[in-house]
Chain A
């Protein structure tokens, strides 16, 4: 694979996707320290919000240690070069949240929908684009449908005003050939000025390999997370990816030593559990299940005695999508009754 001379924008997720792994309990100081160190290391774009995006604070997804407003307001003024992005899922967050994010200095809005439901994003993408923000359409769980379907939905988001489209492997299920096919079709068929991006999860240890395939297919934005801090077995580990890209001659503008120090000295120490491919995270990738379900399934196992792996596999069979965290306790109760545990 020859990627020499290509330029890629790396987008860090550890303060947003990493919120899942931290049950949304990252402190303001931790956020500011990590963001500042990433800025210093040359990361150009950093995502900051509740794990489920603006307005995600809830019983269903977890109440965060601080509001989105508090996090954004603490981090953004400290940034010298890095820009800050915010995620938003229509159905959870609203246009009011977008306006709040804009007022606080967020530069990039990423509007996320399930990969078949792009038409719920028209209002949000439209408003973000109208406010002059860098506007990304983020198609989640893209492994569940064909490349043609992803393209159809991407074109909707493009028509609403998105200047960048992401193919998102929320379950960490994809293998490199699938990434090549999907990103390749997006690159061939979307407007040439529309950027394309890839967001991976490391549940089958494919984060790096898939991201390389994405770059080869034409992606210019790649999500990763310092030390991999993210839902499931985490995201593409960013410091590792920087090292690989350095060797392949891809320009990122990120300082390898500095970013590996951020991982080692700041991010790893705050992990509540090792971010690794344990049997449950592996099940996410193997069965194609939304990565943030992991800790909910583990908690249900602890509470009701049903194996997390069985719960996750059943959620995969039922075709659950991002945001259906409430299904986990419901299903665990039903399974526990069937198994005579309660």
Chain B
């Protein structure tokens, strides 16, 4: 019997579609449903063409099928406003929710930093922070695991074409969620996040700068080693995650300059911000599946 966990994707936009394309290749997760709210939407059409069942009636449209289709995991790529309700309804049926919105009602998850904790405890809702968070928090953590970081600051620069209307209408949510996770997951005592949208053509590849101010003089050799190790960890699920410059040291400041190129599944390769979110979300679900297959965790019980 296949050990793949069956999944639904909520939100057939850029993120949802990219996720679907990655999931089709996964050895651990099998996409079954794509859920939207507009029957005419391009995303639902694409999903149907890829042989996925679709519902245009939101999460409610798929609830009657959850047990029958043995759905175990859901990915929410809608908006923070509707996420809480989606999560509540699906959790009640024993479905693990991977939250790709900035709602952050569950704990933040940045796979190479803290995914193991969440799978061990079988968290029913984990939040994937933001694209900028996924790209930068591993670097903050790479410094903070060596020595105390008083202040962590990240600057994410993304191409205009890769930023959807949801992010644009609530850009504060990006800043707030990301800076919170720089502290909680990255391990900085205080966090700050800045996002810059650049409309250049051809579009620029996602760029991220990470500045950490360490409490004591930085241990340059240890931090450099830690940063390189962490880059390799992220590259396991985002091959286009590249260290461009750094770490450089200036007094207590440690700076790292990254570039994130995507796989080009749905949006072109410049949209590494999209890829790193979907790849991290999928990696998280795969970890739940692997742990369940090993018997290390027991998925929520199902009635009949």
Residues of A within 8 A of B (CB): 58-60, 90-92, 94-95, 114, 116-117, 119-120, 122-123, 318-321, 323-324, 326-327, 329-330, 333-334
Q: Is the CB of A334 within 8 A of B196?
A: no
Asked whether B160 lies within 8 Å of A91 as measured between CB atoms, the reply is: no
Given contacts A319-B204, A326-B157, 5 further A-B contacts (CB under 8 A): A58-B192, A60-B194, A119-B169, A323-B194, A333-B257
- 5 interchain residue pairs of minimum CB distance: A319-B200, A326-B209, A59-B211, A330-B257, A333-B245
Selected interface stretch from B93-101, B121-129, B171-179: B171-179
Residues in chain B near residue A120, CB distance under 8 A: 168, 171, 197
A327 near B200 (CB under 8 angstroms)? Answer: no
B263 to chain A, nearest CB (A): 24
Q: Are A58 and B194 in contact (CB under 8 A)?
A: yes
List the A residue with the shortest CB-CB distance to B245. Answer: A333
The reply to whether A320 and B213 form a contact with Cβ atoms under 8 Å apart is: no
- Interface 0/1 of B13-44, CB less than 8 Å to A: 00000000000000000000000000000000
Judging by beta carbons under 8 Å apart, are B197 and A117 in contact? yes
Q: Check A324 against B169 for contact (C-beta < 8 Å).
A: no
* Pairs A–B under 8 Å by Cβ, sample size 14: A58-B192, A60-B153, A91-B174, A91-B194, A92-B175, A114-B197, A117-B168, A321-B197, A321-B199, A324-B196, A329-B255, A330-B245, A330-B257, A334-B244
Interchain nearest-CB distance for B240 vs A (Å): 17
Closest-CB distance, B136 to chain A (whole angstroms): 11
The answer to the question of B195 belonging to the interface, with a C-beta cut-off of 8 Å to chain A, is yes
Q: Which residues of A contact B155 (CB under 8 A)?
A: 60, 326
Contact B197 A91 (CB under 8 A): yes
CB of A123 within 8 A of CB of B171, answer yes
In the complex, are the beta carbons of B248 and A90 less than 8 A apart? no
Residue numbers in A under 8 Å from B169 (CB-CB): 119, 122-123
Smallest CB-CB separation from A145: which chain B residue? B199
Q: Are A59 and B153 in contact (CB-based, < 8 A)?
A: yes
Find out whether the CB atom of A323 lies under 8 angstroms from the CB atom of B196. Answer: yes
| Min distance, Cβ B267 to any Cβ of chain A, angstroms | 18
**Which residues between 99 and 153 of chain B lie within 8 Å of chain A, taking CB atoms?**
151, 153
In the complex, A314→B160 CA distance in Å?
20
- Residues of the B chain whose Cβ atoms lie less than 8 Å from the Cβ of A320: 198, 200
Min CB–CB distance B38 → chain A (angstroms):
21
- State the interface size on chain B (CB cutoff 8 A): 35
Q: How far is the CA of A60 from the CA of B196 in the complex (A)?
A: 12
A314 to chain B, nearest CB (A): 13
A92 to B194, CA, bound (A): 5
Contact of A333 among B153, B160, B172, B248 (CB under 8 A): B248
- Which chain A residue has the least Cβ–Cβ distance from B259? A330
Most buried by B among A59, A60, A90, A318: A59
Question: Is A321 touching B194 in the complex (CB atoms < 8 A)?
Answer: no
**Which A residues are in CB contact (< 8 Å) with B175?**
91-92, 94
B199–A334 CB distance below 8 A: no
Chain B residue at smallest Cβ distance from A330: B257
Q: Does B207 sit within 8 A of A, measured CB to CB?
A: yes
Q: Is B220 an interface residue (CB 8 A)?
A: no
Q: Which residues of B contact A (CB under 8 A)?
A: 151, 153, 155, 157, 160, 165, 168-172, 174-176, 192, 194-201, 204, 207, 209, 211, 213, 244-246, 248, 253, 255, 257
List residues of chain A with CB within 8 A of the CB of B209. Answer: 60, 326, 330
| Chain B contact residues: helix, strand, loop or mixed | strand
- Smallest CB separation, A88 vs chain B (Å): 11
Report how far A318 CA is from B151 CA in the complex, Å: 30
- CB neighbours (8 Å) of A58 from chain B are 153, 192, 194
With a CB–CB cut-off of 8 A, which chain A residues contact B157? 324, 326-327
A116 and B198 CA atoms in complex are apart in Å by: 9
A95 to B205: give the CA distance in the assembly, Å: 29
Contacts of A326 in B (CB 8 A): 155, 157, 207, 209, 257
- Give bound CA distance, A58 to B114, whole Å: 27
Q: Contact between A321 and B192 (Cβ–Cβ < 8 Å)?
A: no
Distance to closest chain B CB from A6 (angstroms): 34
A140 to B59, CA, bound (A): 41
Q: Which residues of B contact A92 (CB under 8 A)?
A: 175, 194
| B196 touching A94, Cβ below 8 Å | no
Residue of B whose beta carbon sits closest to that of A115: B199
Instruction: Judge whether B211 and A60 touch: CB under 8 Å.
Output: yes
Inter-subunit contact A123/B172 (CB<8 Å): yes
When distances are taken between beta carbons in the complex, the residues of chain A under 8 Å from B168 are 117, 119-120, 122
Q: How far is the CA of A42 from the CA of B304 in the complex (A)?
A: 80
Q: Which residues of A contact B170 (CB under 8 A)?
A: 123
With A59-B213, A60-B211, A116-B160 in contact, is A95–B257 under 8 Å at CB?
Answer: no
Which chain B positions have C-beta within 8 A of A117? 160, 168, 197, 199
CA distance A114 to B194 in the complex (A): 15
A114 to chain B: which residues have CB within 8 Å? 197-199
- Closest A residue to B200 by beta carbon equals A319
Shortest distance in angstroms between A120's beta carbon and chain B's nearest beta carbon?
Answer: 5
Residues on B with beta carbons closer than 8 Å to the beta carbon of A334: 244-245
**Cα of A116 to Cα of B163 in the assembled complex, Å:** 13
In the bound assembly, the distance between CA atoms of A218 and B157 in angstroms comes to 35
Instruction: Decide: A59 and B253 in contact? CB cutoff 8 A.
Output: yes
Residue of A nearest to B169 (CB): A122
Q: Which residues on the B side are within 8 Å of A333 (C-beta)? A: 245-246, 248, 257
CA distance A94 to B255 in the complex (A): 24
Contact A91 B198, beta carbon cutoff 8 Å: no
A127 to chain B: closest residue by CB: B172
A91, B200: Cβ atoms closer than 8 Å? no
The interface residues of chain A lying within 8 Å CB-to-CB of B253 are: 59
For B248, the chain A residues whose CB sits under 8 A away are 329, 333
Chain A residues, CB < 8 A from B244: 330, 334
CA distance A120 to B213 in the complex (A): 30
B202 CB to nearest chain A CB (Å): 10
